[in-house]
Amino acid sequence: MKRKNKIYLGAVYDALREMGQKLESFYIDIKPKYMGDQIIIGEAFTTKGRKIKQKENYSKLDLIRLDIYKKEHFKNKPIVLLEANDGKVAHAGDITCQIYKNLGAVGFITDGNVRDIDKCEEINFPVFCKDVNPIDAINYWALTQYQTNIKIKNVTISPGDMIYASNDGVIRVKKKNLKIFNKTLREVLKKEGDVRILVKKMKKLTDYKKTLTKFVKERGRW
């Protein structure tokens, strides 16, 4: 936990950029409606939903979500992500979030809507979503797939990818890149930590140029 608390989204972004990745491929511009900690980090548990067609059996489709509610799916304390494919109703609420939390999830992120945000705050469960409203999804929308590739804000997310989320938004790191990413992130955190210490020591200086120019020459831009 101490190691996680040192991580912040700016450093995650910088590490991915140093790896040559473009922000459009990994940054999801969705902000939290409730965020209890500075950052949440976890593997992606992916879900997908859609509007129900007129001739489909809603009750049958609605039972799919119950297959998710098993401890075995949440043993690694994931973040649940939902591709909603709808902008009308609320696609989750405090009861769903309470279930996810009970099972071991550390947060919920969707490009759709959530309701009962005040109650989500009461249970201290981080929620990221496009918007909030009280509109129930019954007989209109259902969660139909889980642990499949999804797309949120043009970023493709696969089960097991690592998710970093804070007040600055959401970043996805591909599972296959985690080893090199973790190494790069440690380097970024070290460099930015060192420059912060240096800046604190410089508070009595009237001209920062010489000192910071030397730092950039030796360590690179922070």
> What tens digit of pLDDT does each residue of 98-128 get?
999 999 999 999 999 999 999 999 999 999 9
CATH number of 31-166: 3.50.30.40
Q: Is the separation of the CB atoms in 9 and 39 below 8 Å? A: yes
pLDDT for 193-222, tens place per residue?
A: 888 888 888 877 777 888 888 888 878 777
Higher pLDDT, 49 or 197: 49
The confidence score (pLDDT) of residue 5 equals 52
Kind plus residue range of the DSSP H or E element containing 44: strand 39-51
Single out the residue of 26, 13, 21, 69 nearest to residue 157, CA to CA: 26
The confidence score (pLDDT) of residue 3 equals 45
pTM of the model as a whole: 0.89
Q: Which two tokens stand for residue 8?
A: 């912040």
Strand residues in 67-214 grouped as ranges (E): 79-83, 107-110, 113-114, 127-128, 131-132, 141-146, 150-152, 155-157, 162-166, 169-173
Domain ranges of the chain: 31-166
Partners of residue 81 on adjacent β-strands? 46, 109
Helices of type H across 35-174:
58-62, 94-103, 117-122
pLDDT score of 1 more than 70: no
Confidence of residue 192 (pLDDT cuts 50, 70, 90): confident
pLDDT score of 70 more than 90: yes
Please tell me the distance from the alpha carbon of residue 92 to that of residue 89, in angstroms, as a whole number. Answer: 9
pLDDT score of 89 more than 80: yes
Three-point CA angle 164, 170, 174, nearest 5°: 60
pLDDT for 137-185, tens place per residue?
A: 999 999 999 999 999 999 999 999 999 999 999 999 999 999 999 999 9
